[in-house]
Amino acid sequence: MCLSMLYRASATIFVASVLSFQFGATASGQTSLEPARGGVGQAAESKIETPLNWKSSGVLIAPVSDATHEIVSVKDPTVVRHNGLWHVYATAYSTSAKTWSMVYLNFKDWSDAPDAPLTYIDVNPGLRGYHCAPHVFYFEPHEKWYLVFQSQQPQYCTTDDLSKPETWTAPQNFFDRMPRSSPRLPIDYHIICDDTHAYLFFTGDNGRFYRCRTRIEDFPNGMSDPEVAIDDSRDHLFEGSMTYKIKGADTYLTIIEALSPARYYSAWIAKDLNGEWTPLEGADTWETPFAGINNVEFDEGVEPWTRDISHGELLRDNYDQTPTIDPTGMRLLFQGRSADSGGPYHLLPYRLGLLTQQPSASPQPSQATGERPRRRRPGGRDRARFGGPIELDPDDKPAFEEPPAGFMAKRDDVPHGELEMIEYDSKAVGATRRMNVYTPPGYSDERQYPVLYLLHGIGGDETEWQRFAKPNVIIDNLIADGKAVPMIVVMPNGRAQKNDRAEGNVFESAPAFAKFESDLLGDVIPTIEARYSTIPDREHRALAGLSMGGGQSLNFGLGNLDTFAWVGGFSSAPNTEPPAELIPDPPTTREKLKLLWLSCGNKDGLINISQGVHRRLAENDVPHIWHVDSHGHDPQHWSKSLYWFAQQLFQATGHRAVAAGVVLAFLFSASVSAQAGEPATLKGVFDDCFSVGAAVNRRIAAGMAARDRFGRRSPELIERDRELVVEQFNNIAPENDLKWALIHPNEGPDGYNWGPADQFVEFGKRHKMYLVGHTLVWHSQTPFWVFTGDGSSEDEVEADGRTGPEDDAEGPWRRRFRRPRFRGPRATREQLLARMRDHIHTVVGRYRGKIKAWDVVNEALSDQGDAVLRESLWLDIIGPDFIAKAFQYAHEADPDAVLRYNDYGLEDPAKRRKLIKLVQSLQAEGAPVMAIGTQTHLNVSSASFENMDRTLTELEILGLPIHVTELDINSARRGQRDTRADITGNAAATEGGLVADADKRLAIAYEGVFRAFVKHREKLDVVTFWGANDANSWRSRGRPLLFDGASQPKPAFDAVIRTATRVASMNSIHRALVALLFAVAFTSSVSAQGDQPVDDWEPASTNQPGSEFPKVNSEGRVMFRIKAPLAKTVSCSFRGSSEFKKDEEGVWTGFTRPLDEGFHYYTISIDGAEVPDPGSKYFFGAMRWGSGVEVPAHDRDFYAVKQTPHGQLREVLFYSESTKTTRRAFVYTPPGYEQSTEKRYPVLYLQHGWGENEYGWGVQGHANLIMDNLMAEGKARPFIIVMTYGMTNEVRFGGLSSFSIEPFETVLVDELIPFIDANFRTLTDQPNRAMAGLSMGGMETRLITLRNLDAFSHIGLFSGGSISMEDVEDTERFKEKVRLVFVSYGSREIDGGRTRRGGDPKAHVEALKQAGVNSVFYVSPDTAHEWLTWRRSLREFAPLLFVNQTGASE
User: DSSP readout, 793-842?
Assistant: -HHHHHTT---SHHHHSS--HHHHT--PPP-SPBPPHHHHHHHHHHHHHH
Q: What whole-number distance in Å separates Cα of residue 875 and Cα of residue 826?
A: 12
At 116 the three-state DSSP class reads coil
* Torsion on CA atoms 289, 295, 301, 302, rounded to nearest 10: 20
Name 343's Cβ contacts closer than 8 Å, sequence gap at least 6. none
Task: Count Cα neighbours of 896 within 13 Å in the Cβ-side half-sphere.
Answer: 7
At 45 the three-state DSSP class reads coil
Selecting among 966, 1190, 1254, 1340, the annotated active-site residue is 966
Check: CB of residue 612 under 8 Å from CB of residue 444.
no
Task: Work out the burial of residue 563: count CB atoms within 10 Å of its CB; fewer than 13 is exposed, 13-18 middle, 19 or more buried.
Answer: middle
Q: What whole-number distance in Å separates Cα of residue 304 and Cα of residue 1212?
A: 67
User: DSSP readout, 329-359?
Assistant: S-EEEEEE--TT--SSGGG---EEEEEEE--
* Torsion on CA atoms 830, 833, 838, 841, rounded to nearest 10: -140
Compute the C-alpha angle 559/563/566, nearest 5°. Answer: 80
Q: What whole-number distance in Å separates Cα of residue 24 and Cα of residue 27?
A: 10
Q: What is the DSSP letter of 961?
A: -
| Buried-exposed string 1006-1036: b where 16+ CB fall within 10 A, e elsewhere | bbbbbbbbbbbbebbbbbbbbbbbbbbbbbb
**882-893 helix and 829-846 helix, angle to the nearest 10 degrees:** 30
Check: CB of residue 59 under 8 Å from CB of residue 353.
yes
Neighbours of 664 (CB within 10 A): 16
β-pair partners for 772: 853
Name 932's Cβ contacts closer than 8 Å, sequence gap at least 6. 900, 901, 915, 919, 955, 958, 960, 961, 962, 963
Q: What whole-number distance in Å separates Cα of residue 1445 and Cα of residue 632?
A: 59
Name 909's Cβ contacts closer than 8 Å, sequence gap at least 6. 954
Q: CA distances (Å), 142 to each of 159, 218, 317, in order?
A: 11, 11, 20
Q: What whole-number distance in Å separates Cα of residue 1329 and Cα of residue 1378?
A: 11
CA 1227: distance to chain centroid? 35
Q: What whole-number distance in Å separates Cα of residue 573 and Cα of residue 761?
A: 60
Check: CB of residue 419 under 8 Å from CB of residue 467.
no
**How long, in residues, is the chain?**
1450
Q: What whole-number distance in Å separates Cα of residue 254 and Cα of residue 274?
A: 13
At 857 the three-state DSSP class reads strand
Check: CB of residue 133 under 8 Å from CB of residue 149.
yes
Check: CB of residue 1254 under 8 Å from CB of residue 1248.
yes
Annotation says 719 is catalytic = no
Check: CB of residue 1361 under 8 Å from CB of residue 1338.
yes
The H or E element that residue 137 is part of is strand 132-139
Q: What whole-number distance in Å separates Cα of residue 935 and Cα of residue 947?
A: 14
Helices (H) and strands (E) in the chain, counts: 37, 58
Which residues are designated catalytic? 966
